[in-house]
A and B are shown apart, each in its own frame.
Chain A
Amino acid sequence: MRLRFVGLLVGAFVFLFPFYYMLVGSLQAEPDPSVAGAFPAGNLTLHNYSEIDKAISLGRSLINSGIFTGGVILGTLVFGVLAGYALARLQFRGRGLVFHLMLLIQVVPFQLLTIPLYVMIVRSYGLADSYLGMILPFAINSTAVFVFRQYFLQLPAELFDAARIDGASELSILWRIAVPLVRPALLTGVLLTFIGPWNEFLWPFLITKQQDLQPLAVSLTNYITTVASRAANPFGAVLAGACVLAAPAVALFLVFQRRFISSNLSSGVKG
């Protein structure tokens, strides 16, 4: 027991150290790239945060990130769960085709599609400078669909057979039986769907140049490439922005991870 704990602690240190260094760096008044700088005594200030807030209205950017990401999560949770469930537990015509399509979509790198996608969304759909234009290519995350499918597969078949014999409709089976049992998988799906759009730079930047529509990842990257060097502590300001970008994701995980507790499966399959 003791050994495992120590092992985990060492591992946690390795994982956390760069993030800790980021945090410290964002709080430094003067950039200190030496090793000693990792353990500062004094030289701490919140100035970097106010510096970057001055440059790129953190509040507005965070809201935009929220709308963009929220839209994607909504689309994925509603339509992705349906699709994942159908692929896992329903026999229907075209099932194999849809499964392979889903795999294909994940395999294709986004950079291959960017420009034709942009032209299509801007010209044919007329969605330039809009949240919908930002959300559309990400609306249903295929990886999440894959994840949902895998977890629905893990549930025992007897559960479904029993419910079907009882005459329940597929939708109610999904809603009342399957979903509660794969809650950890759904949460995983949410967390994984969250990260993509939250950290995405290129697509929202292509879709809109209006600063009051741009999500935080875009404003931050623009800031890094050009403006940062003017600040008193450019590296610190950049790290401050990065910490602000990372914070909601970490907070979300903190809240959700408590739900990762074993559900008692055997109670679902009763005589």
Chain B
Amino acid sequence: MRRGPLTRVLGEHPVGTAFVTPYVVFIAAVFAYPLGFAVYMSFHDYFFAAPGAIVDRPFVGFDNYATVLSDPAVRRAFGNVLIFLVINVPLTVILSLGLSTALNSAIRWRTFFRVSYYVPYVTASVAVVGVWLFLFNSNGLVNSVLGPLAPDPSWLVNSHLAMPTVAIYVTWKQLGFFILLYLAALQNVSADLYEAASMDGAGRWKSFLNVTVPGVRPATTLVVLLATVTGANLFTEPYLLTGGGGPDGASASPVLIMYQRGIEQGNPDVGSAIGVLLVIGVLILALLERRFVGSED
């Protein structure tokens, strides 16, 4: 392979730059300005104003970040997201991998099953939430079935159970998408490997552990990362299920607080500070996940 000076500068496959150019142009044209602006706002005493209005917007350093970090409601919201992720991410990985493996095999009614697991993912939360509220009401179906074991106060108005209930709802709703990701990955796990494993005497469980799981590792990285990102950016679900924060903010999410402070209350500087902190937090989490779950590069 020739490694001339051009190759050292542009890489082995300079055409790659051409391939990513439209995407990079898109990012620059659409996201660069708003993102930069959001960071800018977080360091100033800023509010949106009509074009031509003359307003004072002093630089305030880290004031907004200090306000945000010392606010118990914000800290609680970040804590809620951690609770959410701890429940949602492992549950999602296990359930979606297990279900997709089952749905990949030749069973009767396979299409019906695949569609039924996918359906919640495509239905708008706005419509489905009504059903869940009805189910998890204090005299709803779930409590009637549980009888004396039913928690009091009931699920969504209980400050300890509110966020876990939201986590279960979101897991259920998003599962179809992750099953899809795993289904696609499973197509590329060669049948020869399974044959080899069964010839070695491995049962279904063993071949699952030793062939399937390693074989879909890139997909697992994807699933973990995407579940984390979606979970951290949770907004609609806590709002719809608990009307904007639940008992004493027990199910408030950082994006919800960001929306309240930034847009409803007209303080986009504080909102941006929350947003920037959230992004940093998720990036750290993502880095940790790549370290532990691993990836192919």
**Which residues of A does B touch, CB under 8 Å?**
1, 4-5, 7-9, 11-12, 14-16, 18-19, 21-22, 25, 33, 35, 75, 78-80, 82-83, 85-87, 90-95, 98, 101-117, 120, 123, 136-137, 139-140, 143, 145-147, 150-151, 153-155, 169-171, 181-182, 184-185, 187-188, 191-192, 195, 198-199, 217, 220-221, 224, 235, 238-239, 241-243, 245-246, 249-250, 253-254, 257-258, 260-266
Chain A residue with Cβ nearest B124:
A199
Closest chain A residue to B255, Cβ basis? A109
Establish whether residues A246 and B117, one from each chain, have CB atoms under 8 Å apart when the complex forms: no
17 A-B contact pairs sorted by A residue (CB < 8 Å): A7-B102, A8-B107, A82-B20, A83-B20, A86-B20, A93-B9, A93-B10, A94-B17, A95-B11, A101-B27, A104-B279, A108-B279, A150-B219, A153-B296, A170-B19, A195-B177, A250-B122
Partner of B185, one of A85, A86, A154: A154
Which residue of chain A is the closest to B259 with respect to CB atoms?
A: A111
| Cβ 8 A contact of A261, one of B172, B187, B222 | B187
* CB pair B124 A140 closer than 8 Å: no
Alpha-carbon distance A253/B184, docked complex (angstroms): 13
List CB contacts (< 8 Å) of B4-40 with chain A.
9-17, 19-20, 22-24, 26-27, 30-31, 33-35, 37-38
Contact of B258 with A109 in the complex, beta carbons under 8 Å: yes
Q: Are A83 and B283 in contact (CB under 8 A)?
A: no
Decide: B222 and A146 in contact? CB cutoff 8 A: yes
**CB contact under 8 A between A140 and B131, given known A22-B123, A93-B11, A192-B177:** no
Instruction: Determine whether B68 belongs to the interface, using a CB cutoff of 8 Å to chain A.
Output: no
Q: Using Cβ atoms and an 8 Å threshold, which residues of chain A touch B130?
A: 235, 238-239
- Decide: A105 near B115, CB < 8 A? Known: A82-B22, A111-B235: no
Interface residues of A, dominant DSSP: helix
Residues of A within 8 A of B296 (CB): 153-154
User: Number of residues in B with C-beta < 8 Å to the partner?
Assistant: 95
Q: Let me know if A15 and B233 touch, CB within 8 A.
A: no
B169-216 contacts to A, CB under 8 A, are: 172, 175-177, 180-181, 183-188, 190-192
Smallest Cβ distance from A232 to chain B, in angstroms?
Answer: 18
Q: With A8-B113, A154-B188 in contact, is A85–B124 under 8 Å at CB?
A: no
For residue A13, which residue of chain B has the nearest CB? Answer: B116
Cα distance, A238 to B126, chains bound together (Å): 9
How far, in angstroms, from A192 to B179 measured CA to CA in the complex?
A: 12
User: Which residues of chain B are within 8 angstroms of A107 by Cβ–Cβ distance?
Assistant: 229, 232-233, 279, 282-283, 286
Contact A111 B262 (CB under 8 A): yes
Which residue on B lies nearest to A216, using beta carbons? B124
Whole-angstrom distance from the CB of A259 to the nearest CB of chain B?
9
CB pair B190 A95 closer than 8 Å:
no
Shortest distance between the CB of B261 and any CB in chain A (Å): 11
Task: Known contacts A147-B181, A154-B218; decide if A108 and B275 are in contact (CB<8 Å).
Answer: yes
B278 CB, nearest partner CB in chain A, Å: 7
Task: Check B120 for interface membership: any CB of A closer than 8 A.
Answer: yes
In contact, A90 and B19 (Cβ under 8 angstroms): yes
Q: Is the CB–CB distance between A150 and B12 below 8 Å? A: no
For A121, give the chain B residue with the smallest CB separation.
B30
A15 engages B119 (CB within 8 Å): yes
Separation of A75 and B118 alpha carbons in the complex (Å): 24
Q: Which residues of A contact B265 (CB under 8 A)?
A: none
- Cβ of B271 and Cβ of A112 under 8 Å apart? yes
Q: Among B27, B186, B187, B233, point to the contact of A105 (Cβ < 8 A).
A: B27
Flag whether B99 is at the interface (Cβ < 8 A): yes
- A108-B275, A170-B15, A220-B126 given; 4 more Cβ-contact pairs under 8 Å: A91-B16, A111-B259, A147-B222, A246-B127
Pick from A79, A116, A150: contact of B33, CB under 8 Å? A116
Chain A residues with Cβ under 8 A from B278's Cβ?
A: 109
Minimal beta-carbon separation of A131 from chain B (angstroms): 16
By beta carbon, the residue of chain B nearest A257 is B114
- A191–chain B nearest beta-carbon distance, Å: 6
Cross-chain contact B172 with A15 (CB below 8 angstroms):
yes
On whether the beta carbons of A184 and B34 are closer than 8 Å, the reply is no
Nearest-Cβ distance from residue A16 to partner chain B, whole angstroms: 4
Instruction: List the A side residues contacting B112 at CB < 8 Å.
Output: 12
| Contact among B48, B108, B175, B190 with A265 in the assembled complex (CB-CB below 8 Å) | B190
Query: What are the interface flags for B272-292 relative to A under an 8 Å C-beta threshold, 1 for contact and 0 otherwise?
Result: 100100110011001000000
- The 9 A-B residue pairs with the shortest CB-CB distance in the complex, in nearest-first order: A242-B127, A92-B16, A90-B16, A249-B122, A112-B275, A86-B19, A92-B11, A184-B184, A113-B34
Alpha-carbon distance A21/B116, docked complex (angstroms)? 13
Compute how far the CA of A9 lies from the CA of B111 in the bound complex, rounded to whole angstroms. 12
Partner of A19 from B102, B128, B226, B275 at Cβ < 8 Å: B128
Q: Which residues of chain A have C-beta atoms less than 8 A from B297's C-beta?
A: 153
Flag if A253 contacts B115 (CB, 8 Å). Answer: yes
Residues on A with C-beta less than 8 A from B259 are 111
Closest B residue to A101 by beta carbon equals B27
- Other-chain contact of B37, A82, A116, A245 (Cβ < 8 Å): A116
Q: Which of A91, A114, A195, A245 interacts with B121 by CB under 8 Å?
A: A195
